[in-house]
Amino acid sequence: IPARFAGVVGRYGPGLDEALVRRRQLRQALKQAVPGGELALVFQPKIDLASRRLIGAEALLRWHSASVGAVRPDLFIPLAEETGDILAIGDWVLDEGIRHLRGWHDAGRLADDFALALNVSSRQLQHDGFVEGVLRRVAESGLPPARIKIEVTESGFIHDLKEAQARLGALRAAGVGVSIDDFGTGYSSLSYLKSLPVSELKIDRSFVREIGHDADDQKLVETIIVIAHLFGCSVVAEGIETEAQLEVLRRLGCDEGQGYLFSPPVSVDEFARML
Ligand code: C2E
Ligand code: CA
Ligand code: CA
Ligand code: CA
């Protein structure tokens, strides 16, 4: 320990140490996630707000490590982005998501407009071969490309806007849906809209939570919906927990929603029963 930290470590040492040890354990455990079969997808229904019809789902990743137990995605996904493990994990998500989607599709359980949304990290989007990987899987599955939607956050294109534009454009051109996740939480979101080929905006839960409490946040939600529609995008609100939030969103013209009001993320078996 460098001398200048001695005082700090003296006082906070054990906590700091434990955090570091825990991080190292997590990094090591992460290597086992894909080969050890420790990952699972859960599915959260997406609802058409006007008709309350089930028109899609978002696949969300869960990790139960043999060595460190269950770890929340908020914790292990940033770590996997740091270590690069997100590439193998992201491929697994694409494979597994499309495999389940194909099962439901082949069983004739899906409405024509049903789409499965898969989260893609910015590291994946920036990786050469990402677009080819998605399109190859779609082609192999035989599914209509519009059944699949890719959710990316703004951090995916601040790095290289031109490149992101080209990649997302290639997905859109092939008929795959592209959604901007956590919309409104990043920088200068609106300027991206005119240059990015996206089909959907996803309003972050933090704005939905303030509906009915914070008049400015409500105005922001209203503005996002109006602008999205001007650009020909549909709008999804995440984290809808109350009928009051649903009512406001519906009145503002929000197209789709997901949240605990309708259903938490559920296992694949449970989701299949909802179809
Ligand atoms: P996200 O993409 O913004 O996903 C929405 C999160 O909100 C999910 O948390 C979901 O379980 C939670 N949620 C849904 N409805 C409600 C609600 O009504 N109330 C509240 N309080 N929460 C709700 P989760 O599953 O813990 O995922 C956290 C984040 O981890 C996701 O945020 C996403 O950024 C990331 N993530 C999850 N799966 C994947 C994945 O397969 N790949 C990548 N790259 N990231 C993923
Ligand atoms: Ca998402
Ligand atoms: Ca979010
Ligand atoms: Ca506010």
Give the integer Cα–Cα distance in Å for 202 and 182.
6
For atom 44 of ligand 1, which residue has the closest CA? 121
Cβ of 96 below 6 Å from ligand 1: no
Residue having the nearest C-alpha atom to atom 20 of ligand 1: 239
> Does 42 sit in the ligand 1 pocket, CB within 6 Å?
no
Average pLDDT over residues 212-234: 90
Residues 215 and 207: their CA atoms lie apart, in Å, by 11
Task: Provide the whole-model pTM.
Answer: 0.92
Taking CA atoms only, the protein residue closest to ligand 1 atom 22 is 239
Tell me the pLDDT tens digit for each residue of 54-94: 999 999 999 999 999 999 999 999 999 999 999 999 999 99
Query: Which residue has the least CA distance to atom 32 on ligand 1?
Result: 74
Q: Is the CB of 265 under 6 A from ligand 1?
A: yes
Reported ipTM: the value is 0.97
- Checking if the pLDDT of 7 tops 70, the result is no
- Expressed in angstroms and rounded, the spacing between residue 186 Cα and the centre of ligand 4 is 15
Assigned token pair, 168: 């997302």
Buried b (16+ CB within 10 A) or exposed e, 35-49: eeebbebbbbbbbeb
Give the C-alpha separation, 177 to 255, whole Å.
Answer: 15
Cβ distance 124 to 90 under 8 Å?
yes
